[in-house]
Structure 1
Amino acid sequence: MVSIINTVDTLHEDMIHDAQMDYYGTRLATCSSDHTVKIFNVRNGGQILVADLRGHEGPVWQVAWSHPAYGSLLASCSYDRKVIVWKEGENGMWVKMYEYTGHESSVNSVCWAPHYIGLILSCGSSDGGISLLTFSGDRLSDVRKIGGAHASGCNTVSWAPAVVPGSLISQPMAAHKPNHVKRFVSGGCDNLLKLWKEGEDGQWREDQTLDAHSDWVRDVAWAPSIGLPGSTIASCSQDGRVFIWTCDDLMGSSWTVKLLHKFNHVVWHVSWSVTGHILAVSGGEDQVTLWKQSMDGQWACVSDVNKGQGAVPTAVVEGLSEQG
């Protein structure tokens, strides 16, 4: 079971929209409607504010850490239509590495690709488009845009994992020729999930559409594939429903859907544990539930976590225990 081992008082002056731990679980990044991004050291139960990043001119919706193979990088996106990539420089000082202004409306979601693919950031926007930004060192080397990806807007993006389904160890897909593809899933205001795949010509194309929600899709999360026999995606929506999508073939051609639960409120976020066996679901007013699949394939709620007012429970955002 999960217990809250620490809380971080962020001192944000408005609503917190996202909180993400870095790869090693020692730093926490938060973002807020107060237009700021904050970074904390959270070792040994303590908390030290190490950066207060100011560059956005509107509410900041989401933050995303890159893999440490590329250094300490953090991406943020905002209602101000901007995506900012922040970099930790000398003496622990954080600076703006790049600012992307290629969208015409709020940028709602950012997500880094698996590190073996390269330093690629996907960005979903209310203008309906999705941008794929590829960096080489500190410079933007390529931009690919998927226009009209979702009617009325894209709310969320999530990359397929770097581990081949059924594998017990992390292996590049390049070692498995049929799976050497770049894929991610998006969700939008058209109530749809869409799977995207890069072609041999470098262009991104819609691979499949997954349709089950009856209102805006608020979040999608592609599960890690370590030890799992196939691919799994969780989605949540303003319709109060959380769905689990599964695909057992390695090419990802046939997906089945199962209702996890119907809540009586909007569900905002879904997030997997590092092994993909526990799903955290958050929605309503500070309600977080944890779900685990039994041996017979049924999903059950294994824990209810109550958030503190104005504080972030780090046990929830940094990873989940597989006990219980």
Structure 2
Amino acid sequence: MKPFNTGHEELVHDVAYDFYGRRIATCSSDTTVKVFDRNDSTGEWDLSDSWKAHDASIIKVCWANPEFGKVLATCSHDSTIKVWEENIREKQNSGKRWKRVATITDHKGPIYDLAFSPSHCGLKLASISTDGQFKIHEALDPNAIGSWTNIFETNTLSSAPSRQLQSSFCLSWGKSRFSKEYVVACALEQSYIYQRQENGKYTQTGQLPAHGSIIRDISWAPSIGRGYQLIATACKDGFVRIFKIEEPVTEGGNLQVSLINQFDDHKGDVWRVSWNLTGTILSSAGDDGRVRLWKSTYNKEFQCVGIVSAEQKHDAIED
């Protein structure tokens, strides 16, 4: 693991790998997005392009599945979502390589999170803003990514959060192509699971138990070889939590949600959780400056199998 200088002038809010892990996109309070390509000969990340993307801090950047082309989406405190497509005919580092093809403007508050759906669900974008509005937009024709339709929206808050209190909003799509289409949205300490019905409408079919404090991040695990789903959360109360999600036996029933593991090893706020591609290893990042790796044992209990620290002179993985 080698650090690299992004060149951003202010705080970096998000870093996203593309599908193949060969490219990285970053976004910052300096209102710019940067894309880096992996250089195999040097092992470095080379800047491919940088451009001003919004009029306020950019909070999230994400890649679409490559079957839809080289497409990025960004969201910002300016309350907009923008979709970008790469034009490889433009020179690298020209500031013109990524063309804005769509701007979605129906959010009223700063947008905290954004994610493309898995490719088997079509080309969809889920987003959530500080007023609790959770929305799903879809490019009904994936070959015309300049046109997006709002296909679902709901308010996840009964009242607006106080300006004096910390707030957090996040979301994650269900990954399995062998189950129904799910997406989970978090507002403060509450989490709601929505399912796409056969008529195309989305309804709430589950809810995670309330957390002790606001949820900083949530990640739905790929479910290769499992008959159930897993969702992990990162929380301000210092806990990483893992929930088991079981689909109902009868059609139309609610999901069965149970807490199966929780850890407070970070001894402070936990900010991010992320699963590997097979859903067998969970990584968490916290205020202790460490990334902890969790793996399920033979008895289905998760245990810490490694700690990555970037604070040391030589990055180390501790046992």
Q: Give the partner amino acid of 2:50.
A: D
2:34 pairs with one of 33, 38, 58: 38
User: Residue 123 in 1 paired to residue 127 in 2?
Assistant: yes
* Aligned residue type for 2:112: N
- Let me know the Cα RMSD of the aligned residues: 2.2
Q: State the 1:294 CA deviation.
A: 1.0
The counterpart of 2:112, out of the listed 108, 114, 134, is 108
String of CA shifts for 1:180-211, please: whole Å, max 9, x gaps.
Answer: x321011111x111100123343322111111
Q: Offset of 1:248 from its aligned partner?
A: 4.0
Does the residue aligned with 2:89 lie in a helix, a strand or coil? helix
Per the alignment, residue 254 of structure 1 pairs with 256
Query: Equivalent residue for 1:17?
Result: 13
SS of residue in 1 equivalent to 2:263? strand
Match of 1:271 in 2: 274
Q: Select which of 150, 158, 161 maps to 2:157.
A: 150
Structure with the bigger percentage of helix: 1
Q: Which amino acid aligns with 1:37?
A: V
Alignment TM-score, normalising by the size of structure 2: 0.85
Matched, 1:66 2:64: yes
Aligned-pair distance for 1:285? 5.3
Q: TM-score, normalising length from structure 1?
A: 0.84
CA gap 1:9/1:182 in 2 versus in 1, 3 angstroms = same
Q: Distance in 2 between matches of 1:307 and 1:16?
A: 16
Aligned position for 2:52:
54
CA distance in 2, matches of 1:17, 1:55: 14
1:188/1:218 contact within 8 Å kept: no
Name the amino acid aligned to 1:268. W
AA aligned opposite 1:239: D
Tell me the number of residue pairs that the alignment of Structure 1 and Structure 2 aligns: 292
Deviations 1:42-73 (A, max 9, x none): 13112211121312122211111110000001
**Larger RCO (alpha carbons 8 Å, 6+ apart):** 1
Confirm whether residue 226 of structure 1 aligns to residue 233 of structure 2.
Answer: no
* Identity fraction in percent: 29
Matched residues in 2 for 1:197 and 1:141: separation?
20
SS in 1 for 2:218: strand
Aligned-pair CA distance for 1:307:
2.8
**Aligned 8 A contact 1:12 1:32 in 2:** yes
Give the conservation status (yes or no) of the 8 Å contact 2:248–2:256: no
Is the 2:206–2:257 Cα contact (8 Å) retained in structure 1?
Answer: no
Match of 2:212 in 1: 214
Structure 1 stretches lacking a partner, 5+ long: 165-178, 317-323
Contact 2:261 2:302 in 1 (8 A): no
